[in-house]
A and B are shown apart, each in its own frame.
Chain A
Amino acid sequence: MVDRIADPWGERTPYGPGQEWPVRVDRYLADGRGDADVDRWVQSASVLHSNGDALDIGVAEGRIVGVRGRAVDRINRGRVDPKDLYGWQANHSPDRLTRPLVRDGDRLVETDWDTAMGRIVSRSKELLDGPGGWGHFGFYTTGQLFLEEYYALGVIGKAGLGTPHMDGNTRLCTATAAAALKASFGTDGQPGSYTDVDHCDAIALWGHNVAETQTVLWMRMLDRRRGPNPPTMLAVDPRATPVAREADVHLAVRNGTNVALMNGLLREIIRRGWYDHDYVDAHTLGFDELCRITDGYPPQRVADICDVPAADVERAAELLGTSQRLLSTVLQGFYQSNQATAAACAVNNLHLLRGMIGRPGAGIYQMNGQPTAQNTRETGADGDLPGLRNWDNERHIEELARLWNVDMDTIPHWAPPTHAMQIFRYAEQGSIKLLWISATNPAVSLPDLSRIRRILKQPELFVVVQDLFRTETAELADVVLPAATWGEKTGTFTSVDRTVHISDKAVDPPGEARSDLDIFLDYARRMNFRDRDGQPLIDWSGPEEVFEAWKECSRGRPCDYTGITYEKLRGGSGIQWPCTDEHPDGTERLYTDGTFNTDPDYCETFGQDLVTGAEFTEPEYRAKEPNGRAFLHTVDYQPSPEVPDEEHPLLLTTGRTVYQFHTRTKTGRAPQLNQAAPDVWVEFNAADAARFGIVEGDLVGVSSARGAIQARARLCGIRPGVVFLPFHYGYFDQDPADRTPRAANELTITAWDPVSKQPLFKVAAVAVTKLADGRGVPSPAPTVGGSAPPADADVPPTVGGPAAEATSGKE
């Protein structure tokens, strides 16, 4: 038995380059049950992070009793992340919403579905009546629903109501990944495959604490590191994460300076002749401009801007430049930081310069934070159009209009779809009057929370919240709809490396809770949306019908699903799109021949200026004559919109712990996970702590220009000048009479990347003060992960005990 709280990554199964990753089946059944106590296993995949691990849900007496990894799966080969191992227990929480709620003065009261939907529909019809009525609607969804639900929502919004104001909380996690892939390669879609870990000889982790965010992917990397001929490893992160501790070179850069670092690394690689001249010549555009800009970043200048040793910059460049099969993975350290899209594009540049794309081991993961983020990007429930279409390409809009049988003018395409932060701004100004929030908790997860609460509380704004629990956001809603969750409904979702999995319904949802798809379809029926011929716009009744409709929408586009069926997904191990008649088993890697999706008639964007976000026009794009070549985009480094000053001398970075996900809606209700990381903490470097007279466990006030919180100090390996807060902690499980501010987003700045519009969560300037002595009691920070204290600190280790015992491998 393995305590997967104490050891989130479990036992090593080392393997060598080119070998198949050995199987290790992880399993956790609650209440001392064994396999014999399970009635049936129902196929699914992980829903508490973006890895895409396949697992089976164990059912007994009509209830979920545990999970086990799917040995046949190409992504996890049987392994399960601790969040998935224990997180399903939240499905059974006694505080699940079981009936709709409506606002009655300052209270939410239970009601029936007819009343709740009736209120939404009557308000909707009132708002839709008149010119510009579409503009009163805003939809803010998630990275947690299924593909079918997003596609239905996308059609409702774009063809039914005709509003461009639709986005997901994927804006907070994955918008930059999408923007960088589009900018460099022409369309969204991950070039590589998770199997690149099996083949690579170097791994670079750019602002990606994969050990805590996607533990199974980290297990794969660790198993390569423990096997013969292991890959070298580079980590870029201001914290001493498990990744940084494992890496051969760790660059603990000052937050917000990624572009300077990348420019410096690219300059070294060009100067030392480590780039692939022939590949660059044949398959890229923009090399001269890239040379001109990166030339201004010699190692010493990079060292000054990023505050890392110049020699380490040179070592990192050598590691990258001399590898034969380089794998890169990028996440929030780049995406939620200053110059996000430019920094992410620079990673693409690295791979293009070295010709490290489209072959085994030469992969790029522009990651997602969330399990189904890829689907929002594909289906048009976020700030993209369905089928990775280009909003500025009239022919693409015509295709959609034909598909949905609506007028082209119905589909908003005069500008890019509205991004989340702008949706909230329109709500703040009062032009958006109905805001429908599904499966996300902006009252904890968006920047500058006092502003977000103020917006959601505005009496003129009609707020619909669709969720499992009375979240901090639901408390501010006018109508709350109880939703079914993972395990209680059927649908598909797609991981970072384009692998599509099915998740089948294992049990019934509690009470009157309904699947998100049923709720959206019910709304469409009640709104009576019609197509051009007066027929119902939406006549689907279940997920498989929606999936079949989606396949038509994806036909001929990069994310072609036409070769996939529910039948084919069941029993198997996930299929990578594009999957067509010609490629019935899917496609492992894109761009294998160095031809990119940059054809003007096919591409998803005509491009943007990476400094301002200015959109280029179709004629301007055509004039570049890309001819299937990829773009090398490079910009100069510019400081963040907020930098430390005398009043706020430290930089704040926020992030995740291995045990919690999002705002703990589910993980906070799973006992093993909750106990492992029960409360907020703040991380200090020892030198900073000494300067402020702070020791382990002290209660510290952290404040920015937006707000202030309290947290107990953890002294650990974070870089000097930077403090870290986990972003998970809100207020749902605190006594209202005894609440202390603790959400990291009370402090963060309302600012976003000009291209991806992803908020800058990692560059707020803060001040700290000691509020109370810890009296020797350590902070609630886990000893596992980035918050691990030094070996000689007197902090008891984080363990799960008997309740966390899981089986692994042959057990």
Chain B
Amino acid sequence: MHLAHYLGLLHRAQVNLADAFRQVADAHAEEPDIEHLCQQQAKRCDAYAEQLHPFVVRYSEDAPDEPDRLYSQLFTGTRTGGIGLLRDLQDLYLMAAECDITWTVVGQAAYGVRDKDLLAVVRRCEGETAIQLKWLRTRMKAAAPQALVVAD
């Protein structure tokens, strides 16, 4: 059973996303809403990772060796300025999208193993990850015209 690998993947993706949210919060602290909401979302990601952890442990007992090339790197540091902010938010968006689809995949597996506890965690976290995506999209939509067309 390979569920442990996907749980591990999701766990790491959430930890990475939390870290990226914190980096963007620090890099764009002059945008107070970005700073505040990125810090807030980082904490949420921490909480998701924490909730996943017991399942990672539980299913690792049945796991064969980890397959190759499971992990990918999406975030390589922050940028500055108006366009920099857009690019950083877009990176966060892609990372959150990866988490989002991984929750879906893990949720399907939870059905497969008839694990109601895992399914409850997936349902809760999946919904909030969707909100993260929506917020990032909302913020980018508002910022894009000024950053790309107006700013010098």
- Asked if A242 is at the interface (CB within 8 A of a chain B CB), the reply is no
Query: A614 near B150 (CB under 8 angstroms)?
Result: no
Chain A 46-83, CB within 8 Å of chain B: the 1/0 string?
00000000000000000000000000000000000000
Stretch from A27-35, A131-139, A567-575 contacting the other chain: A131-139
Q: Mark B133-152, 1 if CB is under 8 A from A, else 0.
A: 01101100110011001111
How far in angstroms is the closest Cβ of chain A from B88?
16
With a CB–CB cut-off of 8 A, which chain B residues contact A613? Answer: 33, 37, 135, 138
Q: How does the 8 Å CB contact mask read for A626-641 relative to B, with 1 for contact and 0 for none?
A: 0000000000001001
Do the beta carbons of A415 and B32 come within 8 Å of each other? Answer: no
CB contacts between A and B, total, < 8 Å: 70
CB distance from B145 to the nearest CB of A (A): 6
Q: A431 touching B152 by the CB < 8 A rule?
A: yes
Min CB gap B148→A, angstroms: 8
Residues from chain A with a CB closer than 8 A to the CB of B134 are: 609, 612, 614-616
A414–B31 CA distance with the chains assembled, in angstroms: 21
| A421 touches B (CB below 8 Å) | yes
Contact check, A135 vs B146: say whether CB atoms are below 8 A apart. yes
Across-interface contacts of A131 in B (CB, < 8 A): 149
Name the interface residues of A418-460: CB closer than 8 Å to any CB of B.
Answer: 418, 421-422, 425-426, 428-431
Q: A415–B147 Cα gap in the complex (Å)?
A: 14
A614 touches B135 (CB 8 A): yes
Q: Once the chains bind, are B141 and A638 in contact (CB under 8 Å)?
A: no
B120 at interface by CB-CB < 8 Å: no
Contact between B149 and A135 (Cβ–Cβ < 8 Å)? yes
Q: Does B57 contact A (CB under 8 A)?
A: no
Q: Does B101 lie at the interface of the complex (its beta carbon under 8 Å from any beta carbon of A)?
A: no
Tell me the smallest distance from the CB of B116 to a CB of chain A, in Å: 17
**A750 adjacent to chain B (CB < 8 Å):** yes
Given contacts A415-B141, A421-B32, contact A609 B131 (CB under 8 A): yes
Instruction: Judge whether A724 is part of the interface by a CB distance below 8 angstroms.
Output: no
Q: Which residues of B contact A430 (CB under 8 A)?
A: 151-152
The chain A residue sitting closest to B31, CB to CB, is: A425
The distance in angstroms between the C-alpha atoms of A611 and B132, with both chains bound, is 10
Q: Are A415 and B142 in contact (CB under 8 A)?
A: yes
Q: Is B82 an interface residue (CB 8 A)?
A: yes
Decide yes or no whether B40 CB sits under 8 A from chain A. yes
Within 8 A of B (CB), among A101-134: 131-132, 134
Task: Answer whether residue B36 sits at the interface, using C-beta atoms and an 8 A cutoff.
Answer: yes
Binary interface encoding of chain B residues 43-57 relative to chain A, with 1 for a CB under 8 A from any of its CBs, else 0? 000000000000000
State A638–B39 Cα separation when bound (angstroms): 12
In the complex, the 6 A-B pairs of residues with the closest C-beta atoms, listed nearest first: A135-B150, A132-B149, A614-B134, A614-B135, A612-B135, A132-B150
Name 16 A/B residue pairs within 8 A (Cβ), A-sorted: A131-B149, A132-B149, A132-B150, A135-B149, A425-B30, A429-B82, A431-B150, A431-B151, A612-B37, A613-B33, A613-B135, A614-B134, A615-B138, A750-B32, A751-B32, A754-B37
Residues of B near any A CB (own CB < 8 A)? 30-33, 36-37, 39-41, 82, 131-132, 134-135, 137-138, 141-142, 145-146, 149-152
